[in-house]
Amino acid sequence: MKIGFIGLGNMGAPMAANLAKAGHSVTGFDMADVAVDGVRLAASAAEAAKGQDVVITMLPNGAILRAVALDVLPAMDRGAALVDCSTVDVESARAVAAEAEAAGLLFVDAPVSGGVGGATAGTLTFMAGGTEAGFAKASPLFEIMGQKAVHCGAAGAGQAAKICNNMILGVTMIATCEAFALADKLGLERQKMFDVVSTSSGYSWSMNAYCPAPGVGPQSPADNGYQPGFAANLMLKDLRLSQQAAEAADADTPLGQAAMALYEQFVEHENGSGQDFSAMLPRFEGRGRG
C-alpha cells in the first residue's frame, strides 16, 4: 500500500517505521526535523497525502486535526482513506469525517492504547469509528501496528471508547494510590496489600498490571522513578476530553470530574508534569487528611 503518515512524534515515528518495515511505501511529514527508518519525508502534509491509498495522522489535538484535514483532504484521491490515530474530541472526529465523506473519501477515527512501548513493538490496540468500508481498508495496517483493532461504530465511536476507557483508568489509578497511602498509615505492608487486593474484589488493571507502588507486582514506571509510561499530562488531556464529552452529552460523571480536578492540581500546580500518571501515589503519601 502507498501510505502517507503525518505526525512523526514519539508515537507516530515507530508506527510509521513498522509499516515501512512490513514492505509498505511510506511518505511522512512532521513539523519538526525528524528521520524515520524506511520513511521518505515530504515537504508538506499535502505532499505526503498526495496519491496515497491511506493517510494516517497522529496529532496532538482536535484543532490541529481539523487544520491538517483542510490541507490533506483536497490532495487525496477519491476512495482513499484518512485514518486518524490521534486522541481528540468526538466533535472534531465527526466534523473531519463529514468533510472526508463530502470529498468522496473514507475516514476512520482510530485512537490507540499501548503507549510508546506498544507503538514500537507493534502491539497497540486500536479503537475505531467509521464505516465498514473504511475499517476494512485500514485493518491490514492495524494488524501491522497493533495486536487488536475493535470497530466500535460510526464516526466518533473510536474516540468515545478511548475517552471512556481512560476516564475509568484515571479514576481507578487515583483510588489505587489513595488505598496504598491509607494502607501505609494503617501499618499494612504494601506487598500484603497487593497480595490481597490483586486477588480480591478490588483488583483492577491499575493494581494488577501497573501497580503504582515500587517493588510490588509486575515491573511498572513506579520501579523507574515514575518515568512516564503514560504521562500525567496525557491523562489530564484525556480526562478533560471526557468531561468535554460529558458536558456535550449531558452525562453526570462526578468521579471523572473529580479525577480531572486532581490531575489538574497534580500537573499544573504540583510536581506532576513530566511524571507518570501513577506518581499520584507519592503525592498522596505526603499529604494528610486536611
Q: What is the pLDDT of residues 112-151, one digit of tens each?
A: 998 888 999 999 999 999 999 999 999 999 999 999 999 9
- Closest listed residue to residue 127, CA positions, set 81, 85, 166, 91: 85
Q: What is the pLDDT of residue 290?
A: 73
- Residues β-bridged to residue 41: 28
Angle between helices 90-102 and 157-185 (to 10 degrees): 160
Q: SS3 for 252?
A: coil
Cα 79 off chain centre by: 27
pLDDT, residue 116, reads 87
Q: pLDDT digit string (tens) for 163-174? A: 999 999 999 999
Task: Please indicate whether residue 162 is annotated as part of the active site.
Answer: yes
Phi first, then psi: give them for residue 154, nearest 5 degrees.
Answer: -70, 175
Residue 257: band (very low, low, confident or very high) from pLDDT cuts 50, 70, 90: very high
Q: Tell me: the pLDDT tens digits for 19-61?
A: 999 999 999 999 999 999 999 999 999 999 999 999 999 999 9
**Which pTM does this prediction carry?**
0.92
| First and final C-alpha spacing in the chain | 59
Residue 202: predicted pLDDT: 96
In 3D space, the residue among 43, 50, 40 whose CA is nearest the CA of residue 73 turns out to be: 50
From the list 236, 276, 242, 235, the residue with the least C-alpha distance to 256 is 242
Question: Which listed residue (21, 137, 148, 162) is catalytic?
Answer: 162
Judge contact between 263 and 232, C-beta under 8 A. yes
What span, in angstroms and rounded, lies between the C-alpha atoms of 4 and 145? 15
